[in-house]
Structure 1
Amino acid sequence: MSTTLDHFDHPAWLTAAGTLAGYGLVLLFLFLLLFVAPYLVFPA
């Protein structure tokens, strides 16, 4: 199992994972700000 995961120990994989996680957090924040917050502030 260790030999198959050795391909992913390059710093570029960590950078890619961090970038995707960062974009995911930004998208989640914007979704909450633009869609959930108005629904809570102005209940239907």
Structure 2
Amino acid sequence: MAIDLSEFDHPAWLTAAGAGIGYLLILAVLTVALFIVPYVVFTAL
């Protein structure tokens, strides 16, 4: 059974993947900035 992946060559898929990766990256940075950094600062005191 051959699967045709040519339907995923449209630029909209690249845009959607980029948006998803960007969202996850921003979410990771905010999580570190809002939770990990204060935890490290307060445990060091």
Identity of aligned residues (%): 56
Structure 2 alignment gaps of length 5 or more: none
* TM-score, normalised with respect to structure 2: 0.84
> Which is higher, the Rg of structure 1 or of structure 2?
2
Count of aligned residue pairs for this structure pair: 43
* TM-score, normalised with respect to structure 1: 0.85
Structure 1 alignment gaps of length 5 or more: none
| RMSD of aligned alpha carbons | 1.6
Runs of 4+ in 1 over 6 A off after TM superposition: none
